[in-house]
């Protein structure tokens, strides 16, 4: 059986795609027979030039290279492939090996190195390990690509001048390593900006650690940020790394930094200045190095003037500032956002709501949107779930979300003032609870504490508004 026949017969039972680059006919047959028995798909070429040309047409998981090839040796071939495919996994074989050649090959990225004659059992093990490495690298690449899609600039929606300026500023600063302070009202998309900064930074291969400073009780902040040693306090049964340590060589995103107590601000400042920390109950300084991104809905300059935020920390955070405009100041972006959320939730809920009437869209445009983009997204979700028509009219829209009636002045004539008030209050309460649940990752006790109500009361309200939970 020829190598060409072998590749065709094994194509249906692919375990990995392998390219053999070998000029010796006997060795080509030896390797082909070994790979055929293992069920691999493979191709065979006699020279480095042919290998590079074939690799440009078909991607292989693993390359087995003879060092002593005509015109272009195995290492030169490997370099030529690696220039275009940097994650290629290669095994180098030679009949005239040396320790220096082996060291050089490994330093330049060759996965493994063999001297002839080959021991087939050992070779099979190394091939399997090499393919595992290739598959792992491919998975990492796919995850990275998905990350870039999920956290891309395209998710920061808007064609208004205000948003175009924001997007341009974020693009410029993304690849640098400076600290960025993102400011804007709740619901304007501060976390989306932080994710885009991370995904397009030089640290995108490192961790992205998010902390909502407003959600961490003051008495737990030090342990949350710095970690603790076993036995540091009652309940510290084992060592735990804090958020700063987890973010090492990556990005730390401190959301709602404006709600951080002054005493914690001082300790945070020390870590930023010295790039080291000590765990609670520890005595050893641990070096940390990360990019810091912060966000707040508060006016930090005003907070500094009022003595509620440290001035020195503010200047450390505010190397570059990104200010997100509220939705009421960029209403030309509302149709774009509506179309986007319709697409997202029609797929998620398998509904056929195509859009809104011109009168309904006018209600969207007239509303002040105090909850900003998050409020708009919630409205579209509600419409998608409760709609039966392909195009929703204004009357149905106002029935689903009566808060829009305050702007459109189209409230049902049969509804009493008391009923209107009850509906509006109830709707506002539902929105508030839903936002708190999302911010606390649907953890009921934490959400109840955040809202200042009992867990039982929260459960009753969730039942009332038909709010599901992953908790």
Domain ranges of the chain: 3-147, 151-325, 328-464
Count of beta carbons in the 10 Å neighbourhood of residue 194: 24
CB atoms within 10 A of CB 174: 18
Residue 236 CB neighbour total at 10 angstroms: 16
CB 62 within 8 A of CB 16: yes
DSSP 13: G
What CATH number was assigned to the domain covering residues 151-325? 3.40.50.300
* CATH no. for 328-464: 1.10.8.60
Q: What is the pLDDT along the chain (471 residues), one digit of tens a residue?
A: 343 443 433 333 346 789 999 988 888 888 888 888 888 888 899 898 898 888 878 878 899 988 888 888 988 988 888 887 887 888 888 877 667 777 877 778 888 878 877 777 888 888 888 888 888 776 655 555 555 445 566 678 888 999 999 999 999 999 999 999 999 998 899 999 999 999 889 898 889 999 999 888 888 899 999 999 988 888 788 888 999 999 999 999 999 999 999 999 999 999 999 999 999 998 889 999 999 999 999 999 999 999 999 999 999 999 999 999 999 999 999 999 999 999 988 888 888 888 999 999 999 999 999 899 999 999 999 999 888 778 999 999 998 898 888 654 444 433 444 444 555 566 677 777 887 887 777 888 888 877 778 888 888 888 777 776 444
Round to whole Å and give the CA distance between 189 and 374. Answer: 8
Q: In the CATH hierarchy, which top-level class contains the domain 3-147?
A: alpha beta
Do 3-147 and 328-464 have matching folds? no
Rounded to the nearest angstrom, the gap between the alpha carbon of residue 39 and the centroid of all alpha carbons in its chain is: 37
Q: In 10 A of CB 53, how many CB atoms?
A: 12
Q: What is the Cα–Cα distance from 130 to 12, expressed in whole angstroms?
A: 21
Q: Which of 188, 195, 211, 189 is nearest to 260 (CA)?
A: 211
Comparing C-alpha atoms, which of 134, 317, 301, 76 is closest to residue 213? 317
């Amino acid at each position: 059986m020829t190598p060409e026949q072998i590749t065709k017969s094994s194509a249906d039972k692919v375990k990995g795609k392998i390219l053999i680059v070998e000029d010796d006919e006997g060795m080509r047959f030896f390797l082909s027979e070994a790979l055929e028995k293992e069920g691999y798909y493979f191709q065979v070429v006699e020279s480095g030039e042919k290998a590079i040309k074939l690799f440009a047409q078909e991607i292989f998981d693993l390359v087995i290279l003879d060092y002593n090839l005509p015109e272009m040796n195995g290492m030169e071939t490997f370099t030529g492939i690696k220039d275009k495919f940097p994650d290629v996994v290669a095994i180098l074989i030679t009949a005239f090996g040396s320790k220096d050649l082996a060291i050089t090959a490994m330093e330049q990225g060759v996965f493994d190195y063999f001297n002839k004659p080959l021991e087939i059992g050992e070779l099979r093990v190394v091939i399997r390990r090499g393919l595992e490495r290739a598959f792992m690298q491919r998975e990492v690449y796919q995850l990275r690509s998905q990350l870039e899609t999920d956290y891309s600039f395209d998710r920061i929606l808007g064609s208004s001048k205000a948003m175009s300026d924001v997007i341009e500023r974020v693009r410029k600063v993304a690849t640098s390593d400076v600290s960025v302070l993102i400011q804007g009202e709740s619901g304007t998309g501060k976390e989306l900006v932080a994710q885009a900064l991370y995904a397009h930074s030089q640290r995108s291969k490192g961790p992205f650690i998010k902390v909502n400073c407003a959600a961490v009780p003051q008495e737990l902040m030090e342990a949350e940020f710095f970690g603790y040693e076993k036995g540091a306090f009652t309940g510290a049964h084992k060592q735990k790394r804090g958020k700063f340590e987890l973010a090492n060589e990556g990005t730390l995103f401190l959301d709602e930094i404006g709600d951080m107590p002054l005493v914690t601000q001082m300790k945070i400042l020390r870590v930023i200045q010295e790039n080291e920390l000590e765990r609670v109950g520890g005595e050893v300084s641990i070096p940390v190095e990360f990019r810091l991104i912060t966000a707040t809905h508060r006016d930090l300059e005003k907070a500094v003037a009022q003595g509620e935020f440290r001035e020195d920390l503010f200047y450390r955070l505010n190397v570059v500032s990104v200010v997100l405009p509220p939705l009421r100041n960029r209403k030309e972006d509302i149709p774009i956002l509506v179309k986007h959320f319709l697409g997202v939730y029609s797929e998620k809920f398998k509904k056929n709501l195509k859009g809104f009437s011109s009168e309904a869209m006018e209600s969207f445009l007239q509303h002040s949107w105090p909850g900003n983009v998050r409020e708009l997204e919630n409205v579209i979700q509600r419409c998608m779930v409760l709609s039966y028509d392909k195009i929703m009219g204004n009357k149905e829209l106002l029935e689903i979300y009566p808060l829009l009636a305050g702007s459109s002045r189209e409230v049902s004539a049969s509804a009493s003032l008391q009923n209107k008030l009850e509906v509006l209050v109830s709707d506002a309460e539902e929105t508030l609870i839903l936002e708190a649940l999302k911010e606390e990752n649907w953890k009921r006790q934490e959400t109840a504490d955040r809202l200042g109500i009992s867990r039982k009361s929260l459960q009753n309200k969730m039942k009332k508004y038909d709010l599901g939970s992953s908790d």
